[in-house]
Structure 1
Amino acid sequence: MNLSAQIKKYRARQGFSQEELAEKLYVSRQTISNWENERSYPDIHNLLLMSVLFNVSLDDLVKGDIEVMKNELEIAKLNKWTISMVTFMLLGVISIAPMMNWFGTKGLLVSFVLIVFSIYSTYKVENVKKKHDLKTYKEILAFQEGHQLTDDEKGEERKKNKYMKPIIFISSALIAGILTWIILSFFN
C-alpha cells in the first residue's frame, strides 16, 4: 500500500472528508486530493499531524509503503531465481548431447556449468521460501499475490503435500534422464 492509499484509508476510517481533513491540517482540500492522487507528498509536519489525527504511529502511516515494497522485491526475487533455475537446468540438460558431439567429453564442462548455475538458483529460491515459511505451491501462490494463508490452511496444505518433495525430485530426475536420452539418440 502506498502513502497516498494510506492517507485515503485512514481518512475514510476516521470519517473525514477531504475538506474536513484539510481544515484540521490547515491546508487546502486540493492539497489533500494531491496527496491522495500521488501528485505531491505531505511534509513531515503534516505526516506527524495526520498520525495524531488518525491515531496511528508514523510508522504505520508511512510504513505501509515500505512493507509492500519489501514484499514486491521478495516476490520479484523469487520469480527471478525461479526463472533462472528452470532456464539453466533446461539449457544444461539440452546441451549435454550437442556439447559431447562437438567437443567430446570436454563439452560436458559447459553442461556442468549450466547445471551448477541452476543449482545455485535453486538454493536462492529455497532461501526465499525458507525466509517466508513457504512449503507448498498454494503458499507460494498466496505469497506472490501479496497475502498469506491462515495457519489452518497451511496445515491442511502441508498434510496434502507430505510426499511432494520426493515425487518432484524423482519426476525431475526422470524428465532430465528422458531428455538426455532423446538428445543423445538424436545426435548419435
Structure 2
Amino acid sequence: MKIGKIIKDERLKRDLTQEQLAQEFFVTRQLVSKWENGKSYPDLDQVVKMSEWFELPLDYLLKEDTKMLDELNFDTKLKKRIKLTSIILGLVLVGVMLGGFIFFVLIDQPFLQASDIEITKVEKIILPKETIINSETNETWTLPEDVEYKIHFKTAKPFVNLTKYTGFVNISNDHSLQILLGGGNWSLVGGKKESIIYIQSERKNLTTPRLNSGKDIYLMSRRKVDSEKLHQLELWSDKILDWNELKNLPNNH
C-alpha cells in the first residue's frame, strides 16, 4: 500500500482533518494533502514519527512504496557524481557561453520564488506581552504580543547553495509580510538545498514597530515592480502561508 493511502486511512480512522494532522507533525495542511495524493513524500524523520504516532511498524509504512524508498535510499554520493558529470558535459557543450554564466553567478545571488521551494515545516514562537525598562531613561515600555516563525524549506533549483538561514522580510503592510529569498550563493557542484526563513519580531523597535501577528506571508515573485504599487504585495508576490492557517499552529516555545 502506498504511504499516502496509509496516512489518509490512519487519519480518517482517528477522525482527524488534514489541518489537525498537520499540527501534530508541525507541517502545513497543503503538505499533508500532497503526501496523501502522492505528490510529495515525508522525510525519514517524519516517517519514523508517523510509525510511532500511528503505532505501525516502520517497514509497513515503507515496504510497498518503492518510489518513496528510492527517494530515501538513493545514495547521496551518487547524486553528487551525477551532478558533477552533468556539469562537466555542460562545460564541453556550452563552451564560451558558460564563461558569461560564470561571470553572472559570481556577482549575483540566487533568487528563489514560490515555485522554486517546498515548505517542509513551520515553527511558531509566540512572544507574550512584556514590560521592559529603559536603563538610560528609566522609562517603562510595554511590548505588545507578537509571533515569530521559522519556515523550513527545500529547493530543487540547480546550482543553488543555501545558507542555514535564508531570506528576510522585504516589505510589510497591515495585512501581509513579504519575504525576499535572495540569500545563499551559486555553486556549480552540489550545494545545500535546505534552509530556514527566520521571521523575527520587530516589536522592540518602538519608533516603527512591525508586528508579524495577524499577517499572511508572501514570497516575492519578481525583482522589478512598479514603485507606485510597492505595497500591494498581492500584485507581485505569491502567498505561501495564510494567517488563518498560521494562527492554529502550536507554539514551539
Normalised by the length of structure 1, the TM-score is 0.33
- Structure number with higher helix proportion: 1
- The structure that has the greater radius of gyration is 1
- Structure number with higher strand proportion: 2
